[in-house]
Structure 1
């Protein structure tokens, strides 16, 4: 089938704030405020940003674990954001999730084999008990766990092993897309690498699409095909992995990348320290939401919200007034240099020797 597997259009989630004597709505938390992207079959799109930027809420809205306020979510061209629970149920088989905390996402009273078998039984994917056991055994093999572990409980496993159980459970109904919501952030560095390698192997083997939600750009660089950068409920840059890591265009993306540790002592990277705190999502600033912390802010940034636009003829999309202002030259790097020089401000960038 042609077209993207998943398409998200102008997705919004505003959480109401209640207060006063009668619990009336006094405001809203603009957790997600107009997010759009696509994911193709067999592709990994990473959604990155600081804690609280809304990236996990995007994943939950796609699954309808949280009801979106507005926007559209399409699976193979079919809208799923407005379906009733009964109509949505068969489509849940095609989108699964791996949660951040592998222990709290597993029922401690159930054996691992029963946890993995649950979606197989719920979706009627096996005709009898023997078929269920065969499918569970095959899933244990896929996630590199011994078959005799099916009789154990979650507390008898390490964190990395529990996350493998979570991955096996997500694979059980045979999904097309798996949402990995900070799936490796609670794990040790060596275990992170093992889980990331497992996800990559499963993707190649099964043709899975992944929405990889993370704040760890060092991991993202090794697992993704494309990257979408979020700030305060909005996407500020989308690009393929190579282009984004080699030539980040948005000032916020440059700041995030400057914080990624470099193990090679011969490579020096200047750290960009952003001034001020992240504004409150209850009352986000007008115009560009990043303008209160951006070292290159100028008048349009304070009044007009920039839209995602391509850089030249590339597929790299950036929501930044600098990238769309012809007065700043051809490349965004040159634009930032010009803007910084005009303000007598130092350009904080990244350097690779």
Structure 2
């Protein structure tokens, strides 16, 4: 799914795989492998939001953590601004970490409860700009508070003195401290109340417009995703099954799993016929052969059970991993 750009994409992931060994017994012998991510490729452009969506356990958060180099990859490549980072030693990777930062799901767990907001924000500023004077560092801390719409007098308060939404604003400010080009939001609004979710999403959109940052937005909340994203990648059991613009995917999904996922989303009643999938999601410890979705797909036929479909262009840049040319062919193929 390469697109023709004069400059490389801000983030490019190529055929990413992450398999975790399952160990049992007192010797800790590996008895199997969890196929958490099984060949994911995606791109995020400058100033763009790509949302990675899917059910819990599909592997989307593992993709984010792999990009961040929180563990080594099983296979594949990760490039930031055209430079491959997945094999860099930590000494060479550290300067590049300035370009990509993360906002996690639980803001309270992400913040040191013993540090004031000033200290929390000053720490990464000093790490990435060690030549700054004390006055310049303080000015940068206050600028970060302004960016996330928090009063400057909150700098001397501790994390427990804030609401969940305010704490997430502090986490976003900390992520911005290194002046990154990309922020990975790993379920960054899922723990917040509905009204607060909207405020944080609006803040992220404002920051993107103001600073030109790219966002990889990992979420299972399709209502939020539809509101704020440029493109969508849908994951099922470690693989991307569909990718396209938000308008394409939400208006005319091309993959049977995407159709079922959207039909079950809150707010879809009356506009989409509910599609109830049979059976449970297979275990990533023993994924089915062929198309991972074939055990639950109402349109599956013989080829689906033996051959894994590749992502292919179904309609003007909307990609789907399905052996059917379109869902209109489904009844003729079953």
299, 304, 311: which one aligns with 2:302: 299
- 1:122 alignment partner in structure 2: 127
Partner of 1:321: 323
Contact 1:126-1:132 at 8 Å conserved across structures: no
Provide the alpha-carbon RMSD of the alignment: 1.3
Structure 2 unaligned segments of length 5 or more: list them: 1-5
Distance in 1 (alpha carbons) for counterparts of 2:313 and 2:103: 32
Measured after TM superposition, the shift of residue 261 of structure 1 is 2.0
Matches within 5 A, 1:210-249: 210-249=215-254
Contact 1:11/1:35 (8 A) holds in 2: yes
Alignment counterpart, residue 336 of structure 1, candidates 321, 325, 330 = 330
Q: How do residues 169-318 of structure 1 correspond to structure 2 at under 5 angstroms?
A: 169-262=174-267, 267-312=270-315, 314-318=316-320
Aligned residues: 329
Q: C-alpha distance in 2, partners of 1:336/1:129?
A: 66
- Residues 41 and 209 in structure 1, CA contact (< 8 A), matched pair in contact too: yes
**CA deviation after TM superposition for structure 1 residue 3, in Å:** 2.0
8 A Cα contact 2:255 2:327, kept in partner: no
Partner of 2:3: none
Retained in 2: the 8 A contact 1:7–1:74?
Answer: yes
TM-score, normalization by structure 1: 0.91
Structure 1 residue 262, shift from structure 2 partner: 2.0
How far the C-alpha of 1:140 sits from its partner, in A, is 0.3
Alignment partner of 1:257: what SS? helix
**What is the aligned partner in structure 1 of residue 83 from structure 2?**
78
User: For residues 283 and 97 of structure 1, what CA distance do their matches in structure 2 show?
Assistant: 31
CA distance in 1, matches of 2:147, 2:199: 13
CA distance in 2, matches of 1:59, 1:273: 29
Residues 47 and 55, structure 1, Cα contact 8 Å, conserved in 2: yes
Return the alpha-carbon distance in structure 2 between the equivalents of residues 136 and 79 of structure 1: 31
SS of 1:178's equivalent? Answer: strand
Cα shift at 1:20:
2.9
Structure 2 CA distance for aligned equivalents of residues 160 and 337 of structure 1: 48
Deviation of 1:21 (Å): 4.1
TM norm structure 2: 0.96
